[in-house]
Amino acid sequence: MSDIFIPKNTADILELLKNKNAQICAGGTNVFVDRKKGKNTGDLILLRDIKDLSYIKKDNAFWHIGPLTTFYDIEGFKTGDKCLLALKKAASLVGGPQIRNAGTIGGNIVSASPSADSVPVLMALDASVTLLSHCGSREEKLKDFMLGVNKVDIRPDELLYDISIPLQSGKCAFYKVGKRNALSIAVVNQAVYMEEENGIITKIRIAIGSCAPKCVRAEKTEQLISAMSVKDVLCPGFKKELSKKMSLDISPISDIRADADYRMSVAVNVLLENLRVLEG
């Protein structure tokens, strides 16, 4: 029989993580599904009462998002920030209303599903995570934090404490392709952050989910199109070169939702669509 612990504050969480071999549960949208399947049936630390880990706020250099912030809260957050608009869109496409009301951005990150919808946007925005333990805190880029399927770089005694996104002048777009219009797991999801000057791409970050064991940065593709004009990248004659370079960045899988060749084709087409949106 497993025990359930309900801490009242962050200090309580850290003390439990130090002394108990227990799994953290935020919204429970993944944890309880796993437990129903007979997985991860040990002790639980429920974070439902820790209100100070749910926030969206800005300082002089960063947006900060608390790990217990729900997708409903992100979707409804009022902002004109051109980067956060992409995160709001991704949040609006997570599951159905019940999942968005309960599911948290911290849980989405730590669960490390290759198809997690928040991760490509956060990675394209060069986000970092702050991890807290009884020994102190450390910060890590999200692209390094994600290790593989259901694997992140977090120790048993650490808590995902904060997600930070640098304030930046460009725009970000997100696009998700699923087998149906609603409640779908992504076949491909992708976010692109871009800065341009006089039609020339001066900075670009491309993050692609559901095409590898983890969400990945398409760095070779970024290098290819950096310093090009958006118009030239969108030229039909350039698509073959774009596909060749992107095939070096991602290794799509074949599964029940789509085969590898389809995912590869979609990833390129979604990049072109995201660039059209950002150019507009």
Residue 183 pLDDT: 52
Residue 101 pLDDT: 92
Residue 252 pLDDT: 79
Q: State the pTM of this model.
A: 0.93
Question: Are 136 and 261 members of one domain?
Answer: no
Question: Are 126 and 185 members of one domain?
Answer: no
Question: Are 158 and 244 members of one domain?
Answer: no
Residue 254 pLDDT: 72
For residue range 121-154, list pLDDT tens digits in order: 999 999 999 999 999 999 999 999 999 999 999 9
Domain end residue (candidates: 166, 182, 207)? 166
Please state the separation of Cα 124 from the chain's center in Å: 9
Question: Are 101 and 61 members of one domain?
Answer: yes
CATH assignment of the domain containing 186: 3.30.390.50
Question: Are 130 and 180 members of one domain?
Answer: no
Cα 87 from Cα 165, distance rounded (Å): 11
**Over the range 31-42, which residues count as b (16 or more CB within 10 Å of their CB) and which as e?**
beeebeeeeeee
Per-chain mean pLDDT for the chain: 92
50 has a pLDDT exceeding 90: yes
For residue range 155-195, list pLDDT tens digits in order: 999 999 999 999 999 999 999 997 655 456 778 999 999 99
CA nearest 216: which of 190, 240, 242?
A: 190
14 has a pLDDT exceeding 70: yes
- Segment 3-29 shows an average pLDDT of 91
CATH assignment of the domain containing 21: 3.30.465.10
Question: Are 232 and 126 members of one domain?
Answer: no
State the pLDDT confidence band at 73, using cuts at 50, 70 and 90: very high
Q: How many domains does the chain have?
A: 2
Cα 179 from Cα 195, distance rounded (Å): 31
Question: Are 128 and 212 members of one domain?
Answer: no
220 has a pLDDT exceeding 60: yes
**Most confident of the ranges 39-43, 97-101, 181-185, 204-208:** 204-208
Secondary structure of the chain in HEC code, one letter for each residue: CCCEECCCCHHHHHHHHHHCCEEEECCCCCHHHHHHCCCCCCEEEECCCCHHHCCEEECCCEEEECCCCEHHHHHHCCCCCCCHHHHHHHHHCCCCHHHHHHCEHHHHHHHCCCCCCHHHHHHHCCCEEEEEECCEEEEEEHHHHEEECCEECCCCCCEEEEEEEECCCCEEEEEEECCCCCCCCCCEEEEEEEEEECCEEEEEEEEEECCCCCCEECHHHHHHHCCCEHHHHCCHHHHHHHHHHHHHHCCCCCCCCCCHHHHHHHHHHHHHHHHHHHHC
Residue 33 pLDDT: 67
Question: Are 214 and 144 members of one domain?
Answer: no
Residue 146's DSSP bridge partners are 152
Question: Are 10 and 116 members of one domain?
Answer: yes
Cα 21 from Cα 194, distance rounded (Å): 43
204 has a pLDDT exceeding 90: yes
Cα 134 from Cα 41, distance rounded (Å): 25
Domain end residue (candidates: 136, 166, 196)? 166
- Segment 73-97 shows an average pLDDT of 94
110 has a pLDDT exceeding 90: yes
Question: Are 49 and 151 members of one domain?
Answer: yes
Residue 44's DSSP bridge partners are 4, 23
Provide the domain limits for residue 234.
Answer: 171-279
Domain end residue (candidates: 148, 166, 184)? 166
Cα 207 from Cα 123, distance rounded (Å): 6
Beta strands 43-46; 4-5: pairing state: parallel
Cβ-Cβ contacts under 8 Å for 6 (sequence gap 6 or more) = 45, 46, 48, 49
For residue range 24-45, list pLDDT tens digits in order: 998 877 776 666 666 666 789 9
- Segment 113-119 shows an average pLDDT of 93
Residue 180 pLDDT: 53
